[in-house]
A and B are shown apart, each in its own frame.
Chain A
């Protein structure tokens, strides 16, 4: 079961990893991806509160159905974040590494094209969606 959180507060990657491993002996692989603010002093993430959590949960259920994974955590932040701050965490556990890598990649590709978040720079400019992200999302045949 992948747990999902949409939050303003920072997250602690090590604490999330420890939580996923706690009281289990069947986990052989733990893949984590952390997305960071880069290149700009600050970035503000707007989201659609009624949809963002529900949409990420939908993606999580899809990943569980597709890949032989044990569990995981997805955390997506909103609000104003400074450079090098964490934006998103995808952490997936499985017995062997390949399903965890695959599920994490699938979830990030899908988050990029489905989760209702929008990034705005401090000067007011909105970050443009990248065509390559749409292509990456489509390769999973959704």
Chain B
């Protein structure tokens, strides 16, 4: 049971990956907890996720809040505020 993590724009650049497979630990329940968990990996992850106010998350291609509860097979995309249009 693994989830897919996707990174876009400067989040992708700082982490140095566009996507990765991730086994969701039992202790990580919410989007906020996932961001904390990833930031604790240090280096690029910390640099990408340090400013939490500048981070947006979509789960299974829909925008969600940090309180959203994750499932083990979700597709989780992490990115800066969008600048389309």
Contact = CB atoms under 8 A, between A and B. Distances in A.
Interface stretch (B5-13, B26-34, B40-48, B66-74): B5-13
A119 B80 CA distance: 11
A129 to B, nearest CB: 4
Given A114-B63, A120-B9, A126-B10, A51 B58 contact: yes
Contacts of A41: none
A65 interface: no
Contact of A48 (B10, B79, B81, B83): B79
Given A48-B77, A50-B61, A50-B75, A115 B9 contact: no
Contact of B83 (A55, A76, A129): A129
Interface string A44-58: 011110111011000
Contacts of A126: 9-10, 80, 83
B25 interface: no
B83 A127 contact: yes
B83 A118 contact: yes
Interface residues of B, number: 17
B8 A116 contact: yes
B58 A48 contact: yes
Given A46-B9, A126-B9, A129-B83, 14 more contacts: A35-B85, A46-B8, A48-B77, A50-B75, A51-B61, A52-B84, A112-B83, A114-B63, A116-B82, A118-B9, A118-B82, A128-B81, A133-B85, A134-B81
Interface of B: 6, 8-10, 58, 61-63, 75, 77, 79-85
Nearest 8 CB-CB pairings of A with B: A117-B84, A129-B81, A118-B9, A51-B61, A112-B85, A111-B85, A115-B84, A119-B83
